[in-house]
Amino acid sequence: MIFLSAESGSLGERMKDAGIYAVLGLAIVLVVLALIWGVLAIFGVVFGREEKKNAQADNEKKEEIGTDPATAADKDDSAAVAAAVTAAVSLIFEEEAAASRRSPSSFRVVAFRRAGGSGPWCG
């Protein structure tokens, strides 16, 4: 097959060759996508086992912590800290909006976690 030149034949032959090239190109793309999907599925099976073990261990720890009466006080403190941090962030956003003469953006605090650093603010 000569690649779509004027000497290759009639328009019908050239269109047939173009159709063959299009189908071959799509087939190659689908085969490569299937291979990538298979590799990712294998990774999920291999590395998913460790995550399941870690999740089970975390659930067991949470169950042990949930029975301790001291954790109830920690949960109350967490709510107070979350409220304080949310208020502080809200105040900062409002001050920045006022300084730049625009309306304050809305936000939502999703999660808090303890930093592992060693600065004066890390407690």
Domain containing 78: what range?
69-113
Q: Residue holding tokens 């625009």? A: 102
In a domain, 89, yes or no: yes
Residues 12 and 61 in one domain: yes
Amino acid letter at 34? A
Residues 57 and 75 in one domain: no
In a domain, 121, yes or no: no
CA distance 123 to 103: 34
Residues 54 and 9 in one domain: yes
Residues 7 and 27 in one domain: yes
In a domain, 22, yes or no: yes
Residues 18 and 49 in one domain: yes
pTM of full prediction above 0.75:
no
Residue 82 and residue 112 in contact, taking contact as beta carbons nearer than 8 Å: yes
Burial of 71 (0-12, 13-18, 19+ CB in 10 A): middle
Question: Could you give the number of structural domains in the chain?
Answer: 2
What string of pLDDT tens digits covers the 123 residues of the chain? 455 555 668 999 999 999 999 999 999 999 999 999 999 999 888 887 666 677 777 777 666 655 555 555 555 677 777 778 888 888 888 888 888 877 766 666 666 666 666 655 655
In a domain, 97, yes or no: yes
pLDDT at site 105 = 67
In a domain, 122, yes or no: no
Tokens read off for 23: 């189908």
Q: Helices in the chain by DSSP H: which ranges?
A: 11-66, 70-99
pLDDT at site 41 = 92
